Structure formats: structure tokens, C-alpha cells
């Protein structure tokens, strides 16, 4: 099992932190950045197409919750199951930068900001 580390490369495009995810730590998932099979993820695809590290870099940031790619059915199901608030993660990235976000998430051993 991997250790939780502070690594900005482990920040998911949607505002989650793969570096604290049980599946990632057990080496059952490569994380958002390395997950070539995640073509189903509209957020990941959009960020890659626009060369964004995450949705925090999007020019449409003020209407994030109106974004059909960010706020789709799969995202809502994912958020419900994992009790995550991805929008709070994106806001934390904007407020503290990628390094500050990764450090906070690793130190607090959390994958997602809870609702």
C-alpha cells in the first residue's frame, strides 16, 4: 500500500484528491491524471482538451455549477456515494493554490471535502 503524500499531480480535474483515495493507495487505480480508461469522465476530457490542470483553471469558473460537464448525472451520483463536495475542492484550489490544496488534503488524509 502506498503512503499518502503531498503531490499536485494527484489532484483530480474535478477537485478531488486522488492521493488520499483508498483505491489509489491500494494501487487499484492510477488516479485521474494517469487513468487513460476514464474517457467516460467529461470533466477530465474537457480539462485535457483545454490544457487545464483542473476546473479551477477554467475561464468559466464563475458558472461552475452551471457547467453541464462538471455538473452531470454521473458527477452527482459520484458526489452522493462519496459524500464529496468537489466544488469546495475547486474553491480551495483557487484560494490556496495547487500546492496548498494538495498539502491540506494529504495532511488531513482526505480524498474529498465533505459536505
pLDDT tens digits, 26-36:
999 999 988 98
State the pLDDT at residue 113: 66
pTM of the full structure: 0.87
Pick the closest to residue 50 from 37, 61, 65 (CA basis). 61
Asked whether residue 44 carries a pLDDT value surpassing 80, the answer given is yes
State the pLDDT at residue 93: 95
pLDDT higher at 20 or 64: 20
How confident is the model over 104-114, as a mean pLDDT? 79
Domain ranges of the chain: 8-107
Q: Assess contact for 98 and 67: CB atoms under 8 A.
A: no
Name 54's Cβ contacts closer than 8 Å, sequence gap at least 6.
Answer: 11, 12, 13, 14, 15, 47, 90, 93, 98
Tallying the residues shown for the chain, one arrives at 115
State the pLDDT at residue 80: 80
State the pLDDT at residue 29: 92
pLDDT tens digits, 50-77:
999 999 999 875 667 788 888 888 777 8
Per-residue confidence band for 8, with pLDDT thresholds at 50, 70 and 90: very high
Amino acid at each position: 500500500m502506498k503512503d499518502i503524500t503531498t503531490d499536485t499531480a494527484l489532484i483530480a480535474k474535478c477537485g478531488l484528491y486522488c492521493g488520499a483515495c483508498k483505491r489509489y493507495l491500494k494501487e487499484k487505480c492510477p488516479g485521474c491524471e494517469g487513468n487513460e480508461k476514464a474517457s467516460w469522465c467529461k470533466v477530465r476530457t474537457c480539462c485535457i482538451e483545454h490544457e487545464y490542470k483542473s476546473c479551477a483553471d477554467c475561464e468559466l469558473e464563475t458558472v461552475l455549477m452551471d457547467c453541464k460537464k462538471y455538473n452531470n448525472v454521473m458527477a452527482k451520483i459520484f458526489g452522493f456515494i462519496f459524500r464529496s463536495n468537489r466544488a469546495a475542492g475547486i474553491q480551495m484550489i483557487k484560494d490556496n493554490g495547487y500546492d496548498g490544496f494538495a498539502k491540506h488534503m494529504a495532511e488531513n488524509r482526505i480524498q474529498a471535502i465533505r459536505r
